[in-house]
Amino acid sequence: MAPPRPPNSGNTFFGLTRLIVEFGVLSSFLFSLVLFVGGTLRTVAVIWEALPDLAGEDTGKTLLIAAVEQTDTLLIATALLIISLGLQSLFVGRVVNVPAWLSIRSFDDLKQKLLGIVVVALAVKFFSVAVKWESGSSLNLLTFGLGVAAVMLAIGLYSFILPRLEHAPQEGDSDADPT
């Protein structure tokens, strides 16, 4: 007769990995929190600074640039929050009371959500650069725009092709119907 094993001795290693992932969850959440709070404080400061000269010639453009940059910050904060919730859900346990669109059941779910945010963040970043653009540097703007477009296209292709490759039947699969 084999000696009894201590409770959960087979789960010790997995338990430690879950603890390690919690560090990632916590760090992503803290960065997200700081970016949300910092972005909010920056918004208040920019608006407060613009109030005395709200009807000024350059104030509208300054506020527009600040708003676009704020959007970029919020998108990065959102991505970090999604990473935090996704890691928590995948490695530690289900996260309750999240909207259906934020439900992450697999690593692929997490990747798809993040890639979507990256594409939007790139578009916002390009818009920010375009708004700041001065007419003398059109080649730089075009080069930057082409670079952004290339990355967005690569992400789109990756998002389109990867799911099809994962579900394609492999050579020698026994799942094929012999009839």
For the stretch 6-33, pLDDT in tens is 555 556 766 777 788 889 999 999 999 9
pLDDT in tens, 118-176: 888 899 888 888 887 776 666 688 888 999 999 999 998 888 887 777 666 666 555 55
d(CA 119, CA 68): 15
Measuring CA to CA, which residue among 68, 67, 79, 89 is closest to residue 29? Answer: 79
Beta carbons within 8 Å of 123's beta carbon, 6+ residues apart:
148, 152
32 token code pair = 């997200």
Tokens 């920056």, located at residue: 42
Is the separation of the CB atoms in 104 and 85 below 8 Å? yes
State pTM to two decimals: 0.72
Q: What is the average per-residue pLDDT within 113-117?
A: 87
Q: What separation, in Å, do the N-terminal and C-terminal C-alpha atoms of the chain show?
A: 50
Measuring CA to CA, which residue among 94, 74, 86, 148 is closest to residue 113? Answer: 86
Q: What is the average per-residue pLDDT within 36-61?
A: 90
Residue 1 has pLDDT above 60, yes or no: no
Burial of 92 (0-12, 13-18, 19+ CB in 10 A): middle
